[in-house]
Amino acid sequence: MIRSLLAAFSFLTVLPGRAGKFSEAGLAGSPAWFPLVGYFIGFICLGLAQFLIGRIPLPMISFLILLFLVMITGGLHLDGLADWADSLAGDNPEQRLKIMKDTHHGSFGIIALAMVLLGKYLAINLLLQQQNLILLALAPGLSRMGLTLIMSTTAYARPEGGLGTIFARGKKKWHLAAAVLIALLPLIILRSLPGLICLGVILILSLLFRRDGKRRLGGFTGDLLGASAEVCELAALFGGVLLARLL
């Protein structure tokens, strides 16, 4: 259990080390802990915001929080988002998978990166203005739960194998159940209705990404997971902004 937890941190963040040092069993069990890793990231964002509010202008705080979100993941999810967006230009699964392996980004990928980063900056800034800081903590955890959903219910797309093969071969039903429970626990403790609504939205988005992977790629890839994480996190942040006005 401890090894799979450490493997989850290693897989989703730049901490504590390289995923390669963990056993296959540890890596295979790590998706159960993905929401916990997300909440770890989110509550650091919350603490950073609380420390800086009143000391520097809100736009600067928004930028620093966004910078932290990029750095803590090593830009991994953003790179996946760009590759996934570039694959939209492919005509068949083989071509799309080949495009996603290309280290260069095309126009679709650059546009996707720009829109998501700008959207996150705006959403974080609006949350700070609303003093609605709890969604800063919840959004990363909720979005990572979607990764477990996709990985637990979808085959790995690349026939030549890869890291995703370990997750596909070692997936268990309890991985998804544990991830959902971990994602729900803070929402229940905090009695966060906006968080529950955002969780519902993320479930829908994750199922759409799952459908896209099965239809266009033949399963999930790391790039699809990265795109899902970024889009779902953006949706949760904006959802918190909108729900604060409605509820």
One DSSP character per residue, 115-173 reads HHHHHHHHHHHHHHHHT-THHHHHHHHHHHHHHHHHHHHS-B--TT--HHHHHHHH--H
Convert 84-107 to b/e letters by CB count within 10 Å (16 or more is b).
bbbbeebeebeebbebbeeeebbe
pLDDT at 27: 80
User: And the tokens for 104?
Assistant: 């260069």
- Range list of β-strands (E), 168-236: none
b/e 37-70 (16+ beta carbons within 10 angstroms → b): bbbbbbbbbbeebeebeeeeebeebbebbbeebe
Which pLDDT score is estimated for 179? Answer: 95
Answer for the pair 177, 106: CB distance below 8 angstroms, yes or no: no
Nearest Cα to 35, choosing from 159, 156, 152, 166?
152
The pLDDT score that the predictor gives to residue 19 is 47
Q: Give the model's pLDDT for residue 26.
A: 72
Angstrom distance (rounded) from CA 196 to CA 55: 32
**Which positions ≥6 away from 67 have C-beta within 8 Å?**
none
Q: What is the mean pLDDT of each run of 10 residues along the chain (247 residues)?
A: 86 71 74 95 96 96 97 92 92 89 86 96 96 93 95 85 72 89 95 94 96 93 94 96 87
**Which pLDDT does position 173 carry in this prediction?**
81
Q: What is the pTM of this model?
A: 0.92
Q: Where are the beta strands (DSSP E) in the chain?
A: none
At 123 the pLDDT is 97
Task: Supply the pLDDT for residue 3.
Answer: 83
Report which DSSP code applies to 18.
Answer: -
pLDDT at residue 17, as a whole number? 57
Closest CA to 175 of 150, 206, 201, 208: 150
Rounded Cα distance, 191 and 2, in Å: 29
- The token duo for 88 is 């939209």
